[in-house]
């Protein structure tokens, strides 16, 4: 592991800027490695270095990568999975939920759209909280809201308590706003520079797997029966399972999750730890982004693409049941196909981009293919061939 020596003068700007009296110099020290097991903490290290002062204001700073970083990542991914499941669990059986609560299908769609509305309203304060208070506080608050929302839904399994299930879904949606920005921060804080992309991908993968499970499991647990008491029992079982999982996740985060390692995993994190930032304020950073035309164009194009996916996910049950009555379970399987094919496509695109670096061209090609896929799906949905819908949805994903 490379040890970096920093020659520090207290008159220097924390970002390395020069002034009339001092400067910041960096140089490469000798490579060092300390064997795991040399002390109690060594057992938790994949890589390690050492540091020492040699006088005159010169000191060596080291980086370490801890094995428990994978525990933090798995905890986050599992939590993300449970929250994503709650997002889509109503929409994947929307016709059944509408019948049980005696509401219009549009009211069920709002149980999904509340996630998007909450994100738009709360994303700025949520990002501020993550930046100022750190990973542990943000994840604890997110898990608390996710768990509370799940238990409120347990109490809402009665036909006259639609407003209670809306309240529970709102808390889960608020939780989602807090954790969606965590993957890149968690990857940077816990993982080495050559692992950040992989860690980020795994963090996002948990969310996608949660959506896939949300399409698959609710149609299996909740059957379309006419007896509202029996239907309420099945819905309550689904809510209890969700609440149990979120409770376990909340307890694990309280007991296990750490904000950051004792020694940073990379030079970038190490410097962020040892020097105070003299950058602009959070509001000024946002204003700079809003004035960045290429960035705003990327946000717009990405938003249209992701919005199309969320719209299809929210309305998929209604579209399938409208053309193929009584096919609730197959509607869930079609949603599962959509998400799994998307995960495969993301994996292949990642390999392609790593090799070619053709980001703009690849993005343009993906948008063209998405447009073609949407047109094919639209015109083949009502042809009466369910197998064809599986193929077109898989291609679209």
Q: What is the CATH number of the domain that holds 225?
A: 1.20.1250.20
Supply the pLDDT for residue 5.
Answer: 43
Instruction: Confirm whether 235 is domain-assigned.
Output: yes
Residues 247 and 303 in one domain: no
Q: Which two tokens mark 356?
A: 């070619």
d(CA 89, CA 91): 6
Highest averaged pLDDT of the listed ranges 23-37, 156-170, 188-202, 252-266: 156-170
Number of domains in the chain: 2
Instruction: Confirm whether 55 is domain-assigned.
Output: no
Residues 86 and 146 in one domain: yes
* Model confidence band, residue 280 (pLDDT cutoffs 50, 70, 90): low
Residues 247 and 290 in one domain: no
Instruction: Confirm whether 5 is domain-assigned.
Output: no
Instruction: Confirm whether 60 is domain-assigned.
Output: no
Instruction: Confirm whether 28 is domain-assigned.
Output: no
d(CA 240, CA 245): 9
**Higher local confidence (pLDDT), 119 or 200:** 119
Residues 154 and 186 in one domain: yes
Residues 138 and 88 in one domain: yes
Strands 45-47 and 65-66, bridge-based pairing: antiparallel
| Token pair 């525990």 in the structure block, residue | 71
Residues 82 and 223 in one domain: yes
Residues 245 and 290 in one domain: no
* Model confidence band, residue 35 (pLDDT cutoffs 50, 70, 90): very low
Residues 251 and 164 in one domain: yes
Give the structural domain span for 228: 65-260
Mean pLDDT of 167-176: 94
d(CA 46, CA 202): 19
Instruction: Confirm whether 378 is domain-assigned.
Output: yes
Instruction: Confirm whether 310 is domain-assigned.
Output: yes
**Residue 289, exposed/middle/buried by CB under 10 A (0-12, 13-18, 19+)?**
exposed
The residue among 180, 217, 232, 211 whose CA lies nearest residue 76 is: 180
Q: Is the confidence at residue 143, as pLDDT, over 80?
A: yes
Strands 4-7 and 58-61, bridge-based pairing: antiparallel
* Model confidence band, residue 141 (pLDDT cutoffs 50, 70, 90): very high
- Say if residues 168 and 153 touch (Cβ distance below 8 Å): yes
């Amino acid at each position: 592991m490379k040890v970096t020596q920093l020659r520090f003068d207290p008159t220097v700007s924390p970002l390395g800027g020069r002034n009339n009296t001092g400067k910041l110099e960096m140089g490469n020290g000798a490579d060092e490695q300390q064997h795991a097991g040399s002390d109690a903490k060594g057992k938790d290290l994949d890589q390690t270095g050492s540091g020492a002062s040699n006088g005159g204001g010169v000191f060596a700073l080291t980086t370490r990568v801890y094995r428990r970083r994978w525990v933090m990542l798995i905890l986050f991914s599992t939590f993300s999975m449970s929250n994503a499941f709650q997002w889509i669990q109503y929409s994947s059986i929307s016709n059944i939920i509408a019948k049980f609560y005696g509401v219009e299908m549009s009211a069920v769609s709002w149980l999904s759209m509340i996630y998007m509305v909450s994100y738009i309203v709360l994303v700025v304060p949520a990002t501020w909280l993550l930046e100022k208070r750190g990973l542990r506080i943000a994840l604890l608050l997110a898990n608390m809201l996710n768990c509370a929302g799940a238990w409120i839904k347990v109490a809402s399994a009665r036909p006259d308590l639609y407003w209670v299930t809306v309240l529970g879904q709102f808390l889960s949606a608020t939780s989602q706003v807090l954790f969606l920005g965590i993957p890149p921060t968690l990857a940077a804080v816990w993982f080495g520079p050559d692992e950040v992309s992989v860690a980020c991908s795994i963090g996002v993968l948990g969310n996608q797997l949660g959506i896939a499970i949300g399409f698959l499991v609710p149609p299996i647990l909740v059957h379309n029966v006419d007896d509202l008491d029996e239907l309420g029992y099945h819905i309550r079982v689904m809510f209890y399972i969700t609440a149990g999982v979120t409770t376990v996740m909340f307890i694990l985060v309280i007991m296990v999750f750490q904000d950051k390692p004792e020694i940073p995993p990379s030079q970038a994190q190490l410097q962020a730890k040892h020097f105070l930032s003299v950058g602009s304020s959070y509001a000024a950073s946002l204003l700079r982004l809003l004035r960045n035309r290429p960035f705003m164009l990327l946000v717009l194009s990405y938003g249209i693409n992701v919005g199309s996916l969320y719209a299809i996910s929210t309305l998929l049950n209604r579209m399938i049941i409208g053309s193929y009555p009584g096919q609730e379970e197959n509607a869930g399987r079609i949603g599962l196909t959509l998400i799994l094919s998307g995960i495969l496509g993301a994996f292949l695109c990642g390999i392609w981009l790593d090799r070619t670096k053709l980001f703009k061209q690849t993005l343009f090609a993906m948008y063209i293919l998405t447009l073609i896929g949407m047109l094919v799906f639209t015109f083949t949905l009502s042809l009466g061939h369910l197998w064809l819908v599986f193929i077109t949805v898989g291609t679209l994903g």
